[in-house]
Amino acid sequence: MKNKNLLLFIVLSMGLLGIYYAFTPKPVAPPPAPVATVAEAPVQTAVAPAQNTTAPAPALDPNALFSFETPDLKLLWRKQDGSLIQAEWKQDGTRFFPEEKRDDKNRVISPAFIGIGGIQDGVFEGDPEVQSVNGTHEVRFRNALGEQLSYRIPARGHILNVEWLSARGTRLSLIRGLKELPKSQDGTELNPLHDLGRVFTISDKNIQAVTWMDTFKDPWYSFMGGKRKVLPDAAARVGLDAGMEPSAAQRTYFFAAIWEATQTVQLDAGSPGYFLAPDASGKANARLYLGPKHKPELEAFSKPTTQVMDFGFFGLVAKAMFWILVSIQTVVPNWGWAIVVFSVLLRLALWPLNNKTTIQLMRMKDLEPHQKALQAKYEKFGNDMQKKAEMQKELMAFYKKNGHNPMGGCLPMLLQMPVFFALWSMLSAVFELRHANWMLWVHDLSARDPFFVLPVLLGVSMIAQQMMTPATGDPAQRKMMMFLMPAMMTFFFSSTPAGLCLYYLIFNLIGMGQTWWVMRNYKPQPVVI
């Protein structure tokens, strides 16, 4: 029965893990090394185009780029439409958006990011101007129609003020998508949205999000009536997940690009994307946040934007645990050791629950001889379902007489699953753990263990813990389960954040000590026949 409970726990756990995995962002490929094709930012203000020119300025190269940088950000625009196609977090060189990828034959296999901002209908002419205005830098795009797009960049910081002037009512593109995926010369689909995370809209109370790819393909459960997803309803705040991590198994975006507009944002399903139309005076204003998903910075921009910090289905539990972890980190400065202390405290909090699990297993060992005798009594009836039902009824009565619940050892383990998933979400999502060092080879608690040491130690600890628990059930089945579950968990944890592996390893080591203590002090109770 103990092995049946363990098997049930494994099946339910793997099912929950599968569901959780299915609804988390899928891995993306690492960004390539940047190609040095950007133009240098001008050091002096350029001269604005003459208003009374008799001939339009020559058309710009569609691929012409313009760059400008501050101590905090390096920004790259497409000159033709003023779209911001790349932003770099200069603190550690993280790029916000995907870049073009080519194969060994120099063929494009993934186009560069489409860009945010920029005008929907029309083109700019000449190089943008750069001016210093009240301690800020202003990059200004113009055209012969008198339209003007200005990005005002602070000397320090990552919140840009954007102004759009258009007498003819041309819309400013905030976030744009594609009507259909482009194709290469050999007919292969090229998806410039593939490496992006979510696109979202934020209200004062909630966030609506969808990945771009989900708007292009039917869900795997479409045969059950599932429909292709659509972009969320427009709101004053719209944005994208951002931040291309160097890991090939990226599952978390630690940065965001968020627009906050003063006018009404329009959702255009035909274009598709989010747009901002100028008011009656031909003017539109918005702010653009290009920074980390870190609560202090997000609140400084706009308090509702903290909702982009995705803590998963068990968000409330994860937020509470993160608060505890942050409190520990103020005393223990190293985040790795803070996780160790957190694991110890959580294991102590769950001590009574785990005590009950171990005691139930010990009690099962006492009852097992009588259980086997009862089962042997009904073996002669073979597969007679009526006799099997009688045996089960008699077996449950036997358990009841002895105050034993056969599910008692499984339920406490299942009750810990929300805690586990909340921790997984929390340790995978918080900016504080990004690139956080622990010691020795673990230099990033938010990424997987580069040498798989922690996952292997975790698997070994699970085997040791099972060897310590009371041996019940069929020996061959027990031996198989002793190695099957640890092998599956080692494989699973090999791709999870090192911080999660560290937490679970410490949790297991303390559990081994607890099992030893309970077994040492356990006093068998008489069996009632």
Query: Which CATH number goes with the domain that contains 143?
Result: 2.70.98
pLDDT at residue 31 in the model: 36
* Per-residue model confidence as pLDDT tens digits over 96-116: 998 888 778 787 777 788 899
pLDDT at residue 408 in the model: 63
Backbone angles phi, psi at 506, to 5 degrees: -60, -40
Maximum mean pLDDT: which of 261-265, 413-417, 435-439: 261-265
Residue 372 falls inside a structural domain: yes
- The alpha carbon of 254 is separated from its chain's Cα centroid by a whole number of angstroms, namely 8
Q: What is the mean pLDDT of residues 373-384?
A: 77
C-beta atoms surrounding 318 within 10 Å:
26
> Binning pLDDT at 50, 70 and 90, where does residue 82 land?
very high
* Per-residue model confidence as pLDDT tens digits over 337-361: 999 999 898 888 878 877 877 777 7
Residue 387 falls inside a structural domain: yes
| 70 & 18 share domain | no
The model's pTM = 0.77
Judge residue 373's burial from the number of C-beta atoms within 10 Å of its C-beta, 0-12 exposed, 13-18 middle, 19 or more buried.
exposed
| 223 & 342 share domain | no
| 8 & 90 share domain | no
Q: What is the mean pLDDT of residues 156-167?
A: 94
Q: What is the mean pLDDT of residues 139-168?
A: 93
pLDDT at residue 43 in the model: 34
Higher pLDDT, 35 or 205: 205
Residue 152 falls inside a structural domain: yes
| 358 & 442 share domain | yes
> Binning pLDDT at 50, 70 and 90, where does residue 293 land?
very high
C-beta atoms surrounding 393 within 10 Å:
10
What is the number of structural domains in the chain? 2
Q: Which domain holds residue 375?
A: 2-23+326-521
pLDDT at residue 194 in the model: 67
pLDDT at residue 409 in the model: 61
Tell me how far CA of residue 484 lies from CA of 20, 48, 478, 512, in angstroms: 21, 71, 10, 19
Q: Of the candidates 262, 285, 312, which is a domain's last residue?
A: 312
> Binning pLDDT at 50, 70 and 90, where does residue 55 land?
very low
| 87 & 126 share domain | yes
Residue 30 falls inside a structural domain: no
Contact 141, 149 (CB under 8 A): yes
Residue 379 falls inside a structural domain: yes
| 308 & 330 share domain | no
User: Of 158-172, 405-419, 422-436, 448-462, where does mean pLDDT reach its minimum?
Assistant: 405-419
Q: Of the candidates 286, 312, 338, which is a domain's last residue?
A: 312
| 123 & 244 share domain | yes
| 277 & 330 share domain | no
| 143 & 218 share domain | yes
Q: Are strands 94-95 and 83-89 parallel, antiparallel or unpaired?
A: antiparallel
Tokens at residue 116, please?
């945010």
CA distance 157 to 388: 72
Residue 39 falls inside a structural domain: no
Judge residue 312's burial from the number of C-beta atoms within 10 Å of its C-beta, 0-12 exposed, 13-18 middle, 19 or more buried.
middle
Residue 375 falls inside a structural domain: yes
CA distance 320 to 334: 20
Place of tokens 């230099």: 443
Residue 399 falls inside a structural domain: yes
* Per-residue model confidence as pLDDT tens digits over 252-272: 789 999 999 988 899 998 888
pLDDT at residue 183 in the model: 72
Tell me how far CA of residue 122 lies from CA of 82, 149, 279, in angstroms: 10, 12, 18
Tokens at residue 100, please?
């073009």
* Per-residue model confidence as pLDDT tens digits over 443-468: 888 878 888 888 889 888 888 877 77
> Binning pLDDT at 50, 70 and 90, where does residue 78 land?
very high
Contact 427, 499 (CB under 8 A): yes
pLDDT at residue 471 in the model: 61
**Can you spell out the DSSP letters for 58-103?**
PPPPTT-EEEEE-SSEEEEEETTTTEEEEEEETTTTEESS---EE-
Residue 9 clears pLDDT 60, i.e. is over it = no
pLDDT at residue 477 in the model: 67
> Binning pLDDT at 50, 70 and 90, where does residue 137 land?
very high
- Contacts of residue 318, Cβ cutoff 8 Å, sequence gap at least 6: 311, 312, 422, 423, 425, 426, 429
Q: Of the candidates 277, 312, 347, which is a domain's last residue?
A: 312
Can you state the percent helix, strand and coil of the chain, rounding each to 5? 40, 20, 45
* Per-residue model confidence as pLDDT tens digits over 314-327: 888 888 888 898 99
**Mean pLDDT, the chain, whole residue set:** 79
| 265 & 378 share domain | no
| 96 & 137 share domain | yes
| 398 & 456 share domain | yes
